């Protein structure tokens, strides 16, 4: 095991220097408590990172989409990340990962965690940001505007890997969980931030591929935040085949009665898969949901186990 400590009591003082030292995997890095102001990039398979404490082991940076580059162009969404993993069989435990740049109205998109690969796991981690906090890659097949996908996996094969987020706290405002992965969220808290707008937040914006069986599944998660009642949506489709299923989740009163938005894409009513099963809370109003939202039967809901979704 490699140890990282800001105080010099480990093998390295920075996380990235520890990662760069790895010659063969599997390998585990233990990070002692501290605030590590650095960008972290992982591109080797079979790496595990363990923090000493989820609240005291903090990785933070402040890059953002509207930031002007040396050539006069904007950094864009996909170069704004604090923590980047493009690898398989990656695991992270007990970390806070933050993009500190602030609200999207000012800075635009600002990714805290950019995760792409198969069998990626985050447990007991905190992901803090505002607009586009967590990107669950891969990207959609095509960009809508030239240069919109500029970043580290712009030309990578579009392979929707499996990702697990368990006992995590994820905070943000606009589309703060987005992407094309098959991602399972278990016992997580999703915290929507107030922007003082008519619609303050969208928890998710999936871009699930058309032939992909599963998109986002949330099991026993708490959808909460600091927004006024009826000002937050559970999801809107970044691409029209978006899939989101909520299983036995708690939905706070800040969620709109219709729950799910079509992002002004009426064609998505025939292509999205938005569904709920035995949720509760003031925000669970199945009788008032958008027409394209389903309430699952017991048999249908039984399909959405971690084992089935991950095809284990």
Q: pLDDT digit string (tens) for 244-291?
A: 999 999 999 999 999 999 999 999 999 999 999 999 999 999 999 999
pLDDT at 72: 93
- pLDDT at 202 exceeding the cut of 80: yes
24 part of a folded domain: no
Least confident among 13-17, 31-35, 68-72: 68-72
- pLDDT at 157 exceeding the cut of 90: yes
pLDDT at 224: 98
Least confident among 107-111, 143-147, 296-300: 143-147
28 part of a folded domain: no
- pLDDT at 129 exceeding the cut of 80: yes
Q: Looking at residues 43-52, what average pLDDT do you find?
A: 98
pLDDT at 312: 74
237 part of a folded domain: yes
239 part of a folded domain: yes
273 part of a folded domain: yes
Residue 102 confidence class, pLDDT cut points 50, 70, 90: very high
- Per-residue CA distances from 250 to 176, 188, 206, 281, 285 (Å): 18, 11, 20, 5, 12
Nearest alpha carbon to residue 182 among 122, 233, 138:
138
227 part of a folded domain: yes
Q: What percent of the chain has pLDDT over 70?
A: 100
Q: Looking at residues 152-175, what average pLDDT do you find?
A: 98
Q: Identify the domain containing residue 133 by its residue range.
A: 34-310
Q: Looking at residues 199-203, what average pLDDT do you find?
A: 97
Domain with 268 in it: what CATH number?
2.160.20.10
How far, in Å, CA of 276 to CA of 237, rounded? 16
- Residue 67, both tokens: 């930031």
27 part of a folded domain: no
DSSP for 2-66, please give it: EEE-TTS-SSBSSHHHHHHT--SSSEEEEE-SEEEES-EEE-SSSEEEEES-TTTEEEEE---TT
pTM to 2 decimal places = 0.98
pLDDT at 279: 98
What's the domain count of the chain?
1
The H-or-E segment that residue 86 falls in is: strand 83-86
pLDDT at 156: 97
Q: Looking at residues 97-115, what average pLDDT do you find?
A: 98
**What does the radius of gyration of the chain's CA atoms come to, in whole angstroms?**
19
- pLDDT at 2 exceeding the cut of 80: yes
């Amino acid at each position: 095991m490699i140890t990282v400590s800001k105080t010099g009591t480990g093998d390295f003082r920075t996380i990235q220097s520890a990662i760069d030292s790895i010659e063969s995997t599997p390998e585990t890095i233990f990070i002692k408590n501290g605030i590590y102001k650095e960008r972290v990039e992982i591109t080797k398979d079979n790496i595990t990172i363990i923090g000493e404490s989820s609240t005291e082991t903090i990785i933070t940076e402040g890059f953002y989409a509207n930031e002007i580059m040396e050539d006069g162009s904007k950094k864009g969404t996909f170069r704004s990340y604090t923590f980047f993993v493009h690898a398989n069989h990656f695991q992270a435990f007990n970390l806070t990962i933050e993009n500190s740049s602030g609200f999207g109205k000012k800075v635009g998109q600002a990714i805290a965690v950019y995760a792409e690969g198969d069998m990626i796991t985050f447990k007991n981690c905190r992901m803090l940001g505002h607009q586009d906090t967590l990107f669950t890659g891969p990207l959609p097949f095509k960009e809508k505007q030239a240069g919109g996908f500029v970043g580290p996996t712009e030309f990578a094969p579009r392979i929707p890997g499996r990702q697990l987020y368990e006992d995590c706290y994820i905070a943000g405002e606009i589309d703060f969980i987005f992407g094309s992965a098959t991602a399972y969220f278990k016992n997580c808290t999703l915290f929507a931030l107030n922007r003082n707008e008519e619609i303050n937040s969208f928890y998710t914006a999936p871009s699930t591929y058309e032939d992909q069986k599963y998109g986002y599944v949330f099991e026993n998660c708490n959808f909460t935040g600091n927004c006024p009642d009826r000002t937050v949506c559970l999801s809107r489709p970044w691409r029209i085949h978006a899939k989101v299923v909520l299983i036995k989740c708690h939905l706070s009163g800040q969620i709109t009665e219709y729950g799910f938005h079509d992002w002004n894409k009426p064609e998505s009513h025939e292509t999205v898969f938005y569904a709920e099963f035995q949720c509760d809370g003031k925000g669970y109003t199945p009788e008032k949901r958008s027409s394209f939202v389903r309430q699952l039967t017991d048999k249908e809901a039984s399909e959405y186990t971690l084992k089935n979704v991950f095809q284990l």
